[in-house]
Structure 1
Amino acid sequence: MLLIAFMVIIGAVIGGLTNSLAIKMLFRPYKEVRIRSWRVPFTPGLIPKRHDELAKQLGKMVVDYLLTAEGLGKKLKSKAFSSGMISWLQVEAQKIMRSNESIKTVFEQRFGGTDLKDRLLNKTEVIVKQGYSQFIQQNRNESLEKLIPSSLQNKMEEQLPTVTNYILERGQSFLQSPEGKERLSVMIDRFLIQKGTLGNMISMFLGNERLVDKVQPELLKFLKDEGTQALLEQLLRQEWLKVKQKKLEDVEGFLNEKEIVSFITRTIETQVPLFSMIEQPMNEWTGAYEEYVETTIIPKGVEVILDMLSTHLETLLERFHLDDIVREQVQTFSVERLEELVLSISKREFKMITYLGAVLGGLIGFIQGFIILLLG
């Protein structure tokens, strides 16, 4: 019996030590050991020796079996994931929309004091200038009639009678004013001087003031006459038709690009609410949009984004080159780090393997001792 017990103990010790040594030889020694030019067998350990291959295989395993497009797609399409994403975005949106800070302040804090409004205005001016130049270049040989919207043309033609009345009324008002009468007197005097002797004779016989008194009422009658109104309106229509037939290049010289671009930019600044909103605290103007953002924009946006990601997920994963990322990361790990990582996961299992080796060694020792007793 002592022999059998001795054989069991020896077998258990040998089996346990052998398995423990085999486990340690997975990682150690970390580097190969050489005696002069002769490399000691089994150095370095298995994992240090196959470090690069292990990294490559881990990367392939992650892409082929762990982070697959199919698996990630199912996760993205799951109701739990989309609901969680929507809830998170709603909370974040509430924080932003109920903030006392303005968009301008937040932008300047994030991007180093850059004035957001100035940047937007500069960008708007650049876009307007590019659009203006492109419009002129593409339509230089087109007539104004084709370029001006028909609704605007109709509007302008409808306003011609009003413009005619305005011109005549202003003319009458000017003639009836002291300044107008004075100007008319100067014009008559100048006219008579240009006529030489005949003009002097008329001035001698009638007198300048008397001639003004006679001409002024007649001019007022002329301006009030319906025929004058019809004639002026007809002349305006004819001129308007001539203007419409002109090509853009004909009037291009009268257009000041800088002034037009500046006018359009200022109009956008005053008419587009965004430019005033960016300087106001967000809680002052986001209240009207908060419910719509939370109940409509965020759910729809999440749905669209997740559908797009699911559709193109395989292509995205290919472009990410996850296998290369995993391989490069694993290659940067030291062998000590890999050993620590593996042991932290499988330490208990490795102990069980050691114990199993001891049990098997003891069992083999028992069988050997029993056989020796039988033969003895």
Structure 2
Amino acid sequence: MEFFALIAFMAIIGAVIGGFTNSLAIKMLFRPYKPIYIGKKRLPFTPGLIPKRREELAVQLGRMVVEHLLTPESIRRKFSDKAFMMGMVDWAQNEVLRFMRKEKTIKEWIESFGVKKVSEKIEGKLELFVEESYERTLGELRSKTISNVMPEQLLKKAEGKIPHVTEYILNKGLTYFESDEGYEKLREMMEAFLQNQGKLGNMISMFVDNETLVRKVQPEVVKFLSHDTTKGTLESLLKKEWEKVQTWPISKVEEVIGKENVIDFLNNQIKKHLPIQEWLNKPVYSFLHNYEQHILEVIVPKLVEMTGEFVADRIEQMMERLHLEDIVKEQVESFSVERLEEMVLSISKREFKMITYLGALLGGIIGIVQGFIVLLVR
């Protein structure tokens, strides 16, 4: 009976010592968090192993992540994985579809980035662009003549229109002077003419009244405008004037028309053909719904593929610029020792318990062996 009691006692003592020793060793990995001093002398094993080696641990973890876990080659393999890329395409398609189906207007999307008075700013930018483009273009052309600037084919085409212009002017003149309005205009002109002639005009008015003169002059004016000689003379005159105009420098044309008039005309045409306000108040979907299938089935997969290739080809440079090793190091260093302990224990709590139990088991076995040795020595 004494034999079994001794063996059991030694086994229990050994198990307690073994379990306690291993448990204490595990706790000493983290505890104490800070060094303990007696006077000026620091107690051995303070602080714990991990608090003492935290900086070295941070460096080693950063190096391990970069050299063994998150390597350029592993990332490149991921981008070569068809299943991963298909998943990326599905995700991108869902995101793009969600974006396109939203009822938000273009104006609301732009304003969500902090841009206010969108239409005014766009119109202002367009006006500035028109003015700058006008100045840039005219700056190179002002010293040149119309004949130097306009293509020869266009000049010939314009000259070929002169007979049509001549006929148009004469036809309009005929129509006008044959009308009641033209008749009244001739009468007013005749009255003004006679009044300006002084006594001679009064003398003529005494013998012939204005109505008679107008009735005689009107057919002559119509006959004059209908005569081929008039047509030839006007056509010749227009050709001579056109030849003179061709020698004008562009600066003179600008002066005649007016710079501000040209810029205002261009701005008005742009606003007329580009209804910016109307476009901004439409939802994005109204512009994209006709191309939805093409965007989702062609453009999005292609963009994902191109992005994957771009990242894979430049992953080394990107990782160098990211300084992942430093990021991991700084992150670990920023953790409190309590947080590190919590993280390690959350991962290895079961294993640490098993180590404690193993220590108790080994201690118990050693206690049993010691008990046998004591009995033998006795």
TM-score, structure 1 as length reference: 0.81
Partner of 2:291: 289
Partner of 2:352: 350
Q: CA deviation at 1:83?
A: 2.3
Alpha carbons 2:119, 2:276 under 8 Å: kept: no
Q: For 1:183 and 1:251, locate their aligned partners in 2 and report how far apart those are by CA, in whole Å.
A: 33
What is the one-letter code of the residue matched to 1:137? Answer: G
Alpha carbons 1:12, 1:359 under 8 Å: kept: yes
Q: CA deviation at 1:344?
A: 0.9
What is the one-letter code of the residue matched to 1:67? Answer: L
**1:341 and 2:343 equivalent?**
yes
* Aligned counterpart in structure 2 of residue 180 of structure 1, from 182, 193, 197: 182
1:267-293 Cα deviation digits (max 9, x unpaired): 334424765343235555543222222
What is the one-letter code of the residue matched to 2:94? Answer: V
Q: For 2:197 and 2:277, locate their aligned partners in 1 and report how far apart those are by CA, in whole Å.
A: 64
Partner of 2:311: 309
Alpha carbons 1:98, 1:286 under 8 Å: kept: no
Q: CA deviation at 1:157?
A: 4.9
Report the 3-state secondary structure (helix = DSSP H, G, I; strand = E; otherwise coil) of the residue aligned with 1:42: coil
1:195-216 Cα deviation digits (max 9, x unpaired): 6666666555655444433333
Partner of 1:85: 88
What is the one-letter code of the residue matched to 1:37? Answer: K
Q: Which moved more, 1:20-29 or 1:359-368?
A: 359-368
What is the one-letter code of the residue matched to 1:35? Answer: I
Q: For 1:328 and 1:223, locate their aligned partners in 2 and report how far apart those are by CA, in whole Å.
A: 96
Alpha carbons 2:31, 2:48 under 8 Å: kept: yes
Q: For 1:172 and 1:67, locate their aligned partners in 2 and report how far apart those are by CA, in whole Å.
A: 91
1:35-58 Cα deviation digits (max 9, x unpaired): 333222222222222333333332
Residues 133 and 360 of structure 1, relative CA distance in 2, 3 Å threshold: farther
* Aligned counterpart in structure 2 of residue 128 of structure 1, from 110, 127, 130: 130
What is the one-letter code of the residue matched to 1:250? Answer: K
Q: Which moved more, 1:148-157 or 1:357-366?
A: 148-157
Q: Which moved more, 1:65-74 or 1:276-285?
A: 276-285
Query: What stretches of structure 1 of length at least 5 have no aligned partner?
Result: none
**1:47 and 2:50 equivalent?**
yes
Residues 273 and 150 of structure 1, relative CA distance in 2, 3 Å threshold: farther
Q: CA deviation at 1:177?
A: 2.6
Residues 238 and 319 of structure 1, relative CA distance in 2, 3 Å threshold: farther
Residues 363 and 286 of structure 1, relative CA distance in 2, 3 Å threshold: same
Q: For 2:305 and 2:275, locate their aligned partners in 1 and report how far apart those are by CA, in whole Å.
A: 29
* Aligned counterpart in structure 1 of residue 107 of structure 2, from 100, 104, 114: 104
Residues 303 and 213 of structure 1, relative CA distance in 2, 3 Å threshold: farther
Alpha carbons 2:62, 2:324 under 8 Å: kept: yes
In angstroms, what is the RMSD of aligned CA positions? 3.6
Alpha carbons 1:277, 1:285 under 8 Å: kept: no
Q: For 2:361 and 2:248, locate their aligned partners in 1 and report how far apart those are by CA, in whole Å.
A: 106
TM-score, structure 2 as length reference: 0.80
Residues 44 and 166 of structure 1, relative CA distance in 2, 3 Å threshold: farther
Alpha carbons 1:121, 1:265 under 8 Å: kept: no
Show the 5 A alignment for 1:186-205. 186-191=188-193
Identity %, equivalent residues: 49
